[in-house]
Amino acid sequence: MKLLEYQAHDIFRTYGIASIDGFTAGSREELETIGGRVRFPVVIKAQVQTGNRGKLGGIQFAENASELIEKGVTILGMSIKDLPVNKVFVTPKVEIDREMYLSFTMDRKTKLGVMIFSPVGGVDINQIVDDNPDAVVTLNIPAGNHIPKFMLQYAVDMAGLEGDLAEEFKEVAGKLFTAFVKHDCLLTEINPLVVTGDGHLIALDGKIEIDDNALYRHSEIAEYREEMTDNPLVVEARKFDFLYIPIRDQGNIAVVSNGSGMIMSSIDLIAKKGMDVTCALDLGGGATADRIQEALRIVASNPRVDTIFINIFGGITRCNEIATGIKEAYHSLGAVRLVVRLEGTNKEQGLEIAQSIDGNIEMVDGLYEGVDALAAGSGGVA
């Protein structure tokens, strides 16, 4: 679960991290109210769960109440990477002396935390990594709830921080790691972590991603979901315990499968053939015919999708149920081409049902054959 920026700042403050404060607004009326409560100049930030907001017009400055209302309304009318902007975060403009980057994430191999730090940060951090990889340090944190002092000192020395500022950085890093552990996070990020004009550190922007499987331990965080601007198909899929994954703003292929590994393998092989997957849907285990119908309806609702690759390895999920769902859903999908691979439990029954479907559907024996069929039908490299 990816939190919105202002929600991340709420958590930062919970752990005592100096953080930018402000007001949220979702309408012209609320912007007018804010105009009488803030000290100008201010920054107006679109609240959506994606990056590059500034480069896409989602972050603007206002010198007075009139500009705040005008620009705020403009941002509220935007969509950024297909996500509608339903809320803006209005904060004071901060005098910045320098910017740094600090985050904690999870090493999937070791199942331990990783500290990523750069003495330079900001909107171009990804370009900085490409141009000067030595400007970024990655430190694997031993098991436990604290960062070893030598790691913090290494980051301080790398950044050239001294005196009170060095101690302030160590404190911020320690508190951010505590938030990472106690809130079951997959990511806690401050970018930029800035040194202000008066020589103190403040989190100017933040990202937090929490493990969905741990939300039952954080009821106050689960409530944030109601305020999210998720892709509407993500919300629709969640009602059926599916995972809908928007992938690219281009392409015409949707992948439907029962497992993240199957989905990632499909996407990788499709990309190697010069084609683009625009979305994917993970069925999970034990999908019934009724659930398959809902899954196909959801992915076919994406206007970019004209081809669906259904890649199923049946264990708990029975191939005959998958095929029955496909058959019952097919004629409600519109002019959509289906490429179907069924393997596993009740495979023969499933193939018999699927082959009885009268329409633009192609059965394949395996993953590679399925990708070749997609390429043959789309002009890709077969």
CATH number belonging to the domain at 96-223, selected among 3.40.50.10490, 3.20.20.10, 3.40.50.300, 3.30.470.20 = 3.30.470.20
Mean pLDDT of the chain: 91
Sole residue written with tokens 């938030």: 179
- Greatest Cα pair distance in the chain: 76
Q: From CA 378, how far away is CA 319, in angstroms rounded? A: 26
pLDDT exceeds cutoff 60 at 229:
no
Distance CA 342, CA 350 (A): 7
Q: Please, what sign has the CA dihedral across residues 121, 221, 56, 31?
A: negative
d(CA 179, CA 171): 12
Please give the model's pTM, rounded to 2 decimal places. 0.68
Helix (H, G, I), strand (E, B) or coil at 244: strand
Tell how strand 96-107 and strand 112-118 pair up: antiparallel
Rg (alpha carbons) of the chain, rounded to whole number: 24
What does the pLDDT read at residue 316? 77
Backbone angles phi, psi at 42, to 5 degrees: -130, 165
CB of 52 within 8 A of CB of 126?
A: no
Hey, what CATH class is 21-92 in? alpha beta
Residue 382 predicted with pLDDT over 50: no
* Residues in CB range of 11: below 8 A, 6 or more apart: 3, 179, 183, 208
Contacts of 378 (CB under 8 A, 6+ apart): 252, 253, 275, 307
Tell me whether domains 21-92 and 96-223 share a fold: no
With 80 as the cut, is the pLDDT of residue 223 above it?
Answer: no
Q: Which of 80, 51, 82 is nearest to 244 (CA)?
A: 82
How many Å apart are CA 23 and CA 31, to the nearest integer? 9
Confidence of residue 222 (pLDDT cuts 50, 70, 90): confident
Angstrom distance (rounded) from CA 344 to CA 350: 10
In the chain, what are the domain boundaries?
21-92, 96-223, 232-378
Beta bridge partners of 113: 106
Average pLDDT over residues 90-117: 93
Helical spans, DSSP H, in 135-186: 149-159, 163-182
Domain 232-378 has CATH 3.40.50.261: yes
Q: 168 near 199, Cβ under 8 Å?
A: no
What percent of the chain is predicted at pLDDT more than 90?
Answer: 70
pLDDT digits (tens, 9 = 90+) for 305-337: 999 999 998 777 889 999 999 999 998 998 899
287-to-13, 242, 350, 356, 367 alpha-carbon distances in Å: 42, 10, 13, 21, 20
CB 310 within 8 A of CB 350: no
In a 3-state reduction of DSSP, which class is residue 90?
strand
Question: So what's the pLDDT on residue 228?
Answer: 66
Distance of CA 367 to the CA centre of its chain: 27
Residue 276 has, within 13 A of its CA and on its CB side, a CA count of 10
